[in-house]
Amino acid sequence: MRVTVSGWVQGVFYRATCATVARELGLGGYVRNLPNGRVEAAFEGPEADVDAMIAWCRHGPDLAHVDGVEIVPEPLRGDVGFRVTG
């Protein structure tokens, strides 16, 4: 799944916290800042864990204010491990 998160999500440790939670769940994928102020992430793994990660994205870390989360199903890419980019 690929998600795009809008709101006050840059400069509030969203990417770092997202990566920590995703790694704890054993998910593959990435999280990155977008030039338009949003955050994009992709998650691969067991459906229940991906669902838990998407639920986390709806609120993010304490300093974040999430206005919306767009979810787009994508084919599996075979990502192993979770990385922070951009």
* Catalytically active residues, by annotation: 15, 33
Which has the closest alpha carbon to 62: 23, 24, 21, 9?
9
Is residue 42 within 8 Å of residue 84, measured between CB atoms?
A: no
Is residue 61 within 8 Å of residue 12, measured between CB atoms?
A: yes
